[in-house]
Each structure stands twice: as C-alpha cells, then as structure tokens.
Amino acid sequence: MEASWLESRWARPLYLAFVFGLALGLLQVIKLYLRRQRLRRDLRPFPAPPAHWFLGHRKLLQEDKMEKLEEIVEKYPCAFPCWVGPFQAFLFIYDPDYAKAFLNREDPKSQYPYKFMTPCLGKGLLNLNGPKWFQHRRLLTPVLHCDILKTYVKVMAHSVSTMLDKWEKICGTQDATMEVFEHINLMALDIIMRCVFSKETNCQINSTYDPYIKASSEIGEIIFYRLYNFWHLHDIIFKFSPEGHRFQELSKVLHQFTEKVIQDRKKSLEAGMQQDNTRKKPQDLLDIVLCAQAESEDSFSDADVQAEVSTFMLLGHDASAASLSWLLYCLALSPEHQERCREEIRSILKDGSSVSWDQLDEMPYTTMCIKEMFRLIPPVPSISRELSKPLTFPDGRLLPAGMTVVLSIWGLHHNPAFWKSPKVFDPLRFTKENSDQRHPYAYLPFSAGPRHCVGQQFAMLELKVAIALILLRFQVAPDLTRPLSFSNHIILKPKHGIHLHLKKLPGC
C-alpha cells in the first residue's frame, strides 16, 4: 500500500517533466529545421560544391591542401556557400568587386572565429566593434606612425642579427639544413617585445618564453578546429570537451605572460613617478594604454589593457613570423629572384653593418618580392563580418542581414580571372605599370576599408630589415626531401616547419 502511494506521488511530476522536456526538444528541432530552411533559401542564388548532409564542407575545409580551395574558386565564380554542419553556413567570397562591396561598410566582426578568440585575447582591436573599437583604434594608431617606426629599424636589425649569429654557430664552416620557422618565431617575438613594449626578453637566447610560443601555436590550432566542427560551435559542449579544457589551460599560460609584462611596466612607471614626481611622455603601446587608464578607468579598464597587450603580443609576432618564413621559402624556390634581391641589397647596404629607414625605401625589387609573397601565401588567409544590414553585390545577388560573410584572401589572390598563372611566384606583377592596371581590390593582404590592418607598415618594415640582413649573410635553398604542408591556424603556418639549406656567404 505504501509503495503504491509513493508511485502515485512521484509518477505524475516525472511524467510532466518528461513531457515538458520532450516538448522543449521538439521546439528546438523545429527551430533548427527552420533555420536550415532559411539559410538554404538565402543562399540559393549561390551555387556550392556538394556537401555532406550533416558534416557540410567540414572535410574540405579541414584538409591541409589549399589546392582544394583553388579548384572551387575556378569552378564557382565570385562566391560559394560553405556549410559547417547542417545548421550553420557562411558565404565565402573571392571576387574583387564583391570584396569592394563587402569591405566598404561598417559591419561588425562575425562571431566566428572572433568570439572563440575572446577567452585568450580579450576584447581588443581585433574583435571589438562600434564606438569602443574606434576609441581604441584612435588611441593606438600613433604607436605605429612613421616617425615612431623609424626608431625601430636598429632594434629590428639587432634582433635579426642575434638570430643570424645563432645560425652561423649551428652551420659552422659547412653548409647545413635547418628548420628555420622556430628561430624566426622567437626572433619575431623578440622584435615585438622590444619595439612595441620596450622589454628586453633575451627570448632568442634563453627559453623563458618557450611556453608562450608553444601555447600560442596550439591555441591557434584549437580555434581553427572549433571553427569547422559543428558540435564545438556551441560554448557549453566545447567547454566540457577535451579541447575546451586544453584551451582554458593554454589561455591561462598566455594571460600569465601578458600580465607579467603589464605589472612590470606599472612598477617601473610608479618608481619613475616617485623619483621625479612627473609622468613622462608615453613611449610605446604599453605606456599609451596605461596612461589612458590612469586618466579614466571607466573608459579604459584593466581588461582593456590586458586585451590590447595580448592582441599585439600574440598576433604581432605570429603574423610576422609566418610572413618572413613564407618569404624565405619563396626565395629559396626561386634562386634567380633571390640573387637579384641580394644584388640590390648589397648595392644599398654594402656589408649590412648599418641599416636606415631611407635605405630600406630604396629596394624596389625586394619590395616587389615581399608583395608577391603576400599574394601567393597570404599569412592571414581570410577575414569575416556579420552583415548588419542587407548586402547587394554588383551582379544583383542579395544577402540578408545576419549572414556571415568570409572574404577568402587566399581565394582572391589565386583567382585566375584576375591573376595570370596564380601559382607562379612572379614579383613583376607589382611593377608600377602592372599595379596601376589591376583592380584595386584584387590584392588585399592587409584587408581594406575602415578596419584595415593597423600594423601594415610595421610588418613591411620588419620584413625588409630581416630579409636584407639574411640575404647578405646566407644563401637559402629548399630541402626537397621535406615537402611543405600548411597547418590549420587562423594564421597560415607551415605544419612541420620550413627546412632550408643554408650556405654562409663569404665576406659577411
């Protein structure tokens, strides 16, 4: 009798809970179904490659071979819808007219992948939107003004020379084969720390920053993996996954390093204030953001300082390291262009004992090689926005508000309709005559419009200094026994490094 009473007491609530849960599940299924139907309707004007009904184009996007994307660009002009699972889709575009229509607007950054980067970077220039982005951009742009950049030339040259001295010790008197990306990565971090944060790290000599380098590399892989994994688009599922746990651990490592940089500078500024009781003029990015915080914590919080330091520290060295590595690889594969650059550099810098801003501005052929590298292997292969209002493309096709659009810079730079023989490394594409004849939106290594890359001049300066000093001291050739493959990161990197034959040149 007692058991029957308990059964009757609990049966009804359990039954109601079951029915309620079933109804919620059914509503969610209907919601997802309607979302899929809406996406299919909105994207119907754009033909697409065949996709798996559940996985979408995941296999296509997660493969390391970029040739697949090149085939799509050739087969599907202008754009194609890319499905990530059954309920999420982006529109990939790679036509200059489409890029112009897309970039000359003020759409916010898309959730994907920028939302995924917020836990490790915070909300800085990369992923802010609206008035706060404008405030940060206006505050930080002077850090990379030409007058400031001129003072960085000697600092950059010193860091590059440190790396080259290491190479000489490894090579000795014999030619050697070496994996160079690891060395370039540390050199790029050394440059960003010394120039933008005025901090001596000696990271090329000691191993203090090795955990930071490893964490930044692994976290990029996880973000890219999450971007094209349907289940992990959902925060809760990702958080409790092994990748989510690892992501949190790596984010803590990055935060520890950036926090130390910030706290060290705060102590230094406080000590300086105690000595002469005056605040000195801001010297670098960290000075600027800390001064902004001192003036008004409401407009520039601790989180804002952390975000901007993290953004410049991680992406500043990551993109520069990838760019220089790809440039060296391209020149190693093209000995005739490498030698022509070397002759030009020698005629200007002599033995390279001193390098100046004005000298670097007198290297047109080397500059063309750098630009062609950015075309052939753009370190940032894509950018994305979420449409705040409908977008009509030049051919009349329309996208509604809320759609995520991805500008494939790789696809744009390999579009055979605008680039003859796009797989060939040809610096002469960037003579003045050829550049003037080209569509202004066919070449966008640093994006365009109001959100173009703030570090463009810094990146070009660093590449010129580095490649000039490298080519004066070494001849590079590819190791053909180790074929190159790309790694799936937000920044395009070599999957297994870049192995080059290094030959020490006489007289340097």
The whole-model pTM stands at: 0.93
CA distances from 363 to 18, 197, 330, 366 (A): 73, 28, 18, 6
> CB neighbours (10 Å) of residue 372?
23
- When pLDDT is cut at 50, 70 and 90, the band that residue 288 belongs to is confident
More confident residue, 374 or 22: 374
Q: Are 113 and 490 in contact (CB under 8 A)?
A: yes
pLDDT of 280 reads 57
pLDDT tens profile 316-352 = 899 999 999 999 999 999 999 999 999 999 999 988 8
pLDDT at residue 2, as a whole number:
55
Q: By percentage, how much of the chain surpasses pLDDT 90?
A: 63
- Whether 64 shows a pLDDT value over 70: the answer reads no
In this predicted structure, the answer to whether residue 251 has a pLDDT above a threshold of 90 is yes
Highest-pLDDT range among 90-104, 134-148, 351-365: 90-104
Backbone angles phi, psi at 478, to 5 degrees: -75, 150
Q: How far is CA 222 from CA 106, 317, 471, in A?
A: 29, 19, 35
- Segment 408-427 mean pLDDT: 96
15 pLDDT band (50/70/90 cuts)?
A: confident
pLDDT in the model for residue 11: 67
The string of pLDDT tens digits covering residues 346-385 is 999 988 888 999 999 999 999 999 999 999 999 999 999 9
CA atoms within 13 A on the CB side of 174: 4
Contact between 299 and 292 under an 8 Å Cβ cutoff? The reply is yes
Mean pLDDT of the 385-407 span: 95
The DSSP letter of residue 427 is G
- pLDDT band at residue 57 under the 50/70/90 scheme: confident
Average pLDDT, the chain: 90
